[in-house]
Amino acid sequence: MNDEIKKGLLGIVVDETTVSQVMPDINSLTYRGYAVQDLCEKCIFEEVAYLVLNGELPNKSQLNKFKKELDKNRNITINLREIIKHMPKKSHPMDVARTAVSVMGLEDKETNNNSSEANMRKAIRIFAKTPTAIAAFFRARKGKNVIPPKKNLSFSENFFHMCFGKVPKKEIVKAFDVSLILYAEHSFNVSTFTARTITSSLSDIHGAITGAIASLKGPLHGGANEEVMRMMNKIKKPENANKWINNSLDKKEVVMGFGHRVYKSGDSRVPTMKKYFKKVAEITKDKKFHKIYDIVEKVMIERKNIHPNVDYPTGPTYHLMGFDTDFFTPIFVISRITGWSAHIMEQHKANKLIRPLSKYSGEKYRKVLLLNQR
């Protein structure tokens, strides 16, 4: 037995996947063989969601059918809506999202059916309903009425509609769509691996996605997009940025939105997202965060040679779109449900219980003394 420890499973290949490929050497990320940059420019998010779930890009009639399926499944039950309305207002929306998917599992007639067909139906239901649940909390915690989904709006348009009661300019919707495309899938990251681990005991998709959401919440993973915004708010104005980031590095602090376990010379998703962040900044006539972005990025690369990851541009982009900071990671969730679901289905198809070993470093063998002898 090889008892060498690889903390954090660093560099360990644990299984195969056909869902996506991360190639850090050539700075590339593909979903089912298609480069994400290409998908961002040529597709809407629903096409990419279909691709991630089914393995192929849809033709027109397949896309229309998929959109109709989503429309049909977007409503959440009155029960779930009431639960969301009664959740503590201070709850983190990620905890609300996790609980909502868990409740969907209680309500779903096929929860215990792990066949490929049932899993695909459940994946579509979770994918369609989760944005509705998240948007319901977005409004309910502010004492506002919950807005139901509207037929014939796109996935992204519907999310804006349910959160704000209106759909913004098409350029803003496109930037949001692009962020969802970039967030949809990223191989064996922490939350996906969590989902696959849960699945490996032959547990159900609702449970696996509930666990994945809990995993994504952490600031070293999806929660980083929220932390980026908190950092930018602390910096306040571009004139402070240089000093702020240098101080932070002097204190050896971890700067959120930078660094990556796999990409060491830049995250392949960043140039595309940065381009759309800039567009949103121009439309909203708010260039402050863009200037802070550039200064912090420059210092991080010059001093540490550490590049931004995709959470760095998405954070301020969502802020400029009007979303509350603690809703940034739930937005990540509504997209990544596609990647998680694809991996859960892949795990079911060729399952092997995930059960690593550990090296024991606790007390040596001890004799139990009776209570009155201790």
Ligand X SMILES: CC(C)(COP(=O)(O)OP(=O)(O)OC[C@H]1O[C@@H](n2cnc3c(N)ncnc32)[C@H](O)[C@@H]1OP(=O)(O)O)[C@@H](O)C(=O)NCCC(=O)NCCS
- Contact residues toward ligand X (CB under 6 A) are 8, 220-221, 224, 254-261, 304, 306, 309, 311
User: Could you give the CA distance from residue 8 to residue 369 in angstroms, rounded to a whole number?
Assistant: 37
Could you tell me the smallest distance in angstroms from the CB atom of residue 271 to ligand X? 15
- Marked catalytic residue, from 161, 186, 206, 260: 260
What is the DSSP code string of 328-364? Answer: HHHHHHHHHHHHHHHHHHHHHHT-----------S--
Least distance in Å: CB of 28 to ligand X?
Answer: 16
Q: Which residue is nearest to ligand X (CB)?
A: 259
Label the pairing between strands 20-23 and 34-35: unpaired
Tokens of residue 21, six digits: 């490929």
Contacts of 330 (CB under 8 A, 6+ apart): 93, 94, 96, 97, 134
Shortest distance (Å) from residue 8 CB to ligand X = 6
Listing DSSP states for 250-283 in one string gives HTTPPPTTB--SS-SS--TTHHHHHHHHHHHHHH
Catalytic residue among 311, 319, 326, 348: 311
Q: How far is the CB of 324 from ligand X (least distance, A)?
A: 20
- Please state the closest distance from residue 239 (CB atom) to ligand X, in A: 22
Active site residue 92: no
Nearer to ligand X, 224 or 295 (CB): 224
Nearer of residues 27 and 111 to ligand X, judged by Cβ: 27
Which residue lies nearer to ligand X by CB, 200 or 268? 268
Could you tell me how many helices (H) and strands (E) the chain has, helices first? 16, 3
CB of 342 to ligand X, least distance (A): 19
Q: Say if residues 93 and 326 touch (Cβ distance below 8 Å).
A: yes
Q: Return the structure tokens found at 302.
A: 């010059």
> Which lies closer to ligand X via its Cβ, residue 72 or residue 264?
264
* Whole-angstrom Cα Rg for the chain: 22
Cα–Cα distance between 107 and 367 in angstroms, integer?
Answer: 49
User: Which is it for strands 28-31 and 20-23: parallel, antiparallel or unpaired?
Assistant: antiparallel
**Residue 308 DSSP code:** B
Task: Return the number of the residue (148 or 230) whose C-beta is nearest ligand X.
Answer: 230
Beta carbons within 10 angstroms of residue 304's beta carbon: 12
Nearer to ligand X, 141 or 217 (CB): 217
* 260 carries an active-site annotation: yes
Catalytic positions, written as ranges: 260, 311
